Amino acid sequence: MSLKPAKQAANPGKRFDWFAAINTVFLISVGLLCILPLIHIIAVSFSSSTAAAAGYVKLWPVDFTLASYEFTAGRQGFWVSMGTSLQRLALGTPLNLLLTIMVAYPLSKDTGQLRLRPVYAWIFFLTMLFNGGLIPWYVTIKELGLLNSIWALVLPGAVPVFSIVLLLNFFRAVPRELEESAVIDGASQWTTLWRIYVPISKPAIATLALFSMVEHWNSWFDGLILMGDPSNYPLQSYIQTIVIQQNFMAVSREELLSLAQISDRTLRSSQIFLASLPILLAYPFLQKYFVKGIVLGSVKG
């Protein structure tokens, strides 16, 4: 009695994956929702004032012109404020990361390793829910003699509690075997932090670094409040005075002639794009850490 060969099952690898297709379409749609507004802003910034005011500009410049950028880049105040923002970024981001790491590491330990750890953690957490108010905040900075200095923009936000919460949870997920092996080899807590935890936590630290950079770069209100001299404004505060308040008191006759050739919309678009450009350039260098899990596979067997 001969047996007929069983019908071969279809190769599951050749089946159409509906989940992957729907997920791809969804992610592409979300990506377009994020990138299309920026493309529109860039197109408006390179268009003539007439085309922008009439609403003819969509995703491509109409009547291409550099008048808005020439007016923006031709003002000394723009570059001075740009330098202030870059200085704030260079001082504030490393300080934020340093204090975040040094606070999150002990708070990630168990109560047996750090007494009253829950108390310390709640003290930091409560600052996210309550604050002293704008006036006490301003008076404190004034009494410390920080007004109208770069440190007024850096020190008040030097300890970002939200970043501490994120990083201490990441530290708690690090396998305990790594720390135990370091202790057996005679490593101190300081060595364990900088030689074990920090290298392993590069994805989390890179994410927090981007958060800090965006926070410092986009902040404008503290510059208006804490900087009495407009020449010390960071970039976003400077743009706020030009674009929102439309304060053109200090423009020259030549700049007034340039303003006549541009519109408020094209000027605002050029300022927005130039203000966003540094963050857009920095993001690709940090993106690789977002998709990389260094902790995975760090403990074998």
Same domain, 46 and 169: no
Same domain, 201 and 261: yes
Q: Between 202 and 91, where is the model more confident?
A: 91
Same domain, 34 and 131: no
Which range, 181-195, 254-268, 281-295, is most confident?
181-195
Domain-located, residue 200: yes
pLDDT at 298: 44
Same domain, 228 and 265: yes
Domain end call among 20, 50, 65:
65
Domain-located, residue 205: yes
Domain end call among 45, 65, 85:
65
- Which amino acid is present at 166? L
pTM metric for this prediction: 0.76
Domain end call among 43, 65, 87:
65
Count of domains for the chain: 2
Q: Are 217 and 238 in contact (CB under 8 A)?
A: no
Same domain, 161 and 36: no
Residue 28 has pLDDT above 90, yes or no: yes
Domain-located, residue 195: yes
Alpha-carbon span 244 to 80, nearest angstrom: 19
Q: Are 57 and 44 in contact (CB under 8 A)?
A: yes
Same domain, 42 and 95: no
Same domain, 103 and 235: yes
- Which amino acid is present at 248? F
Spatial CB neighbours of 81, under 8 Å, sequence gap ≥ 6 = 233, 234, 235, 237, 238, 239
Helices (H), 173-251: 176-184, 189-192, 198-200, 202-218, 221-226, 235-239
Alpha-carbon span 181 to 87, nearest angstrom: 41
Domain-located, residue 9: no
Tokens standing for 237? 């505060």
Same domain, 227 and 153: yes
Domain-located, residue 301: no
Domain-located, residue 6: no
> In which domain, by residue range, is 212 found?
69-290
Same domain, 199 and 149: yes
For 204-236, the pLDDT digits (tens) are 888 888 889 889 988 889 998 998 888 889 988
Domain-located, residue 128: yes
Same domain, 92 and 224: yes
Same domain, 104 and 152: yes
Domain-located, residue 5: no
Instruction: Give the CATH number, domain containing residue 224.
Output: 1.10.3720.10
For 145-184, the pLDDT digits (tens) are 999 999 999 999 999 999 998 898 889 888 888 888 888 8
Query: At which residue do the structure tokens 């109208």 appear?
Result: 148
Q: Between 282 and 122, where is the model more confident?
A: 122
Same domain, 176 and 253: yes
Burial class (CB in 10 A: 0-12, 13-18, 19+), 62: middle
Helices (H), 46-133: 49-54, 67-73, 76-107, 117-129
Q: Between 108 and 247, where is the model more confident?
A: 108
